[in-house]
Structure 1
């Protein structure tokens, strides 16, 4: 039993070291962009314990995707379609397309759905794919002026290289970051058909966060961050990718915060993991299950004196730092 405990602690410490290296790497790779947003490589703990007519065109759903998840970016806006191919400075988005954060995101991805930017040596598809590069000037105008100053149009289009079809499959508002709790932040998961040098198209999944800015009576995108989804890390090295195991180790073993049974409630891809501490305070951690099966932590909540759930920010890696200082 003692031997297993030492092994678990060593694994946890190694995991924290890897996390630190990951975030260092993340900070140094902010110049890499993909689909208009910063690219952050997904972290993988290698030493975890195992545990013609638009309506007709859109009806050809089964050819575009392998999963049965409902597509969200299925809006057909003729006013936007008529602007495809214009220069970015010639595009003016109707305010009705931007009236709520959800409208902005859904319309943005609806524009990008049929966009395609294949590389010269990519042998995927046949003939012109979708609307080719026509949608990009329109999509670019869903970004704030400040965002466009940081990313010029050529860099934006280049970030879509080999992206040939995009489906938005998950969209939820989530709490803002610790330093910007009131930020308008949305979780997204997208399904992408990508080009390949091997004469075949590939399905890839990405998840990320979109931040929006309220500009009076409209909302525009002020930042985007994406991670690609790994399909072979969790099955073989999986405790940190399972909601219950994640809490048992990071919130329990690392922070000694859990003093009750962990109760998991599931609703579609949403998971809420409930538990109590030694003072009988109630918590739940919100997870979203990605297409690759990974349970991704989204936010922490604690019940206040009035019985209402409030967002809090728990950082288990800091518990390990404190334990190392004590030892």
Structure 2
């Protein structure tokens, strides 16, 4: 028998949707389709924002960072998820599980902060248009991007370190389709209350601060738009912020419903379904939202394809 100190080594079993084989097959095709769209869409945004000189602006610099995040985030989860769905083996190694939840948490935390940074960029563009290029200069943009990535990975390092010291005592059955940190913590055979409280505080900071910044910036943007006399100016301001607002609503809406719902209403099947939306559907929709609603992106596509009208 495994003892309490045997918390490392051995494989985890990712239950996923294995109790519903038909649903699992349909879901795997759904996931594969959206993962392919995610790869194509985000790679296209990255290449366009690099190759087209007209997209060398702060907005597209941050959008490129978001696309890199989405690519890495989905890739840290989906390939393993598909392997488990299509094969009889639902296992993932101990090291693979630890790396998966560490990377997924780091990238998810980074996106929380990056979306707040993008909101600040939109605030400067709408409220200080004449000073936009001088305020959002390349050095500041790189510092803000670095702060987003470093804070996300620091949060993941902090929470993962607390989880890794907990003994599992042979509990290896993960009722999810990937190694989710909170579920791994609940597998421990010791009291996890203090650890979960510390993790909650860390989540509150990494979620609460960006949300506060986003709400504050959009209140300021709304005030500035109301004061605009020109209908065309208000329309332009709306176009400037609409794509970001849609991405923020989808990202934070699913996260908050997933992690902040009352425990009495908690359902693991519901949690898995919401996780699919948050981790697979959202990264797919992000490039579609930014390209289909963006004239600059459409122009860059036509230009690179040689179909730009002269």
Q: Is the TM value for this pair above 0.5?
A: no
Query: What TM-score, normalized by structure 1, do the two folds share?
Result: 0.22
Greater percentage in helix:
2
Greater percentage in strand:
1
Query: What TM-score, normalized by structure 2, do the two folds share?
Result: 0.23
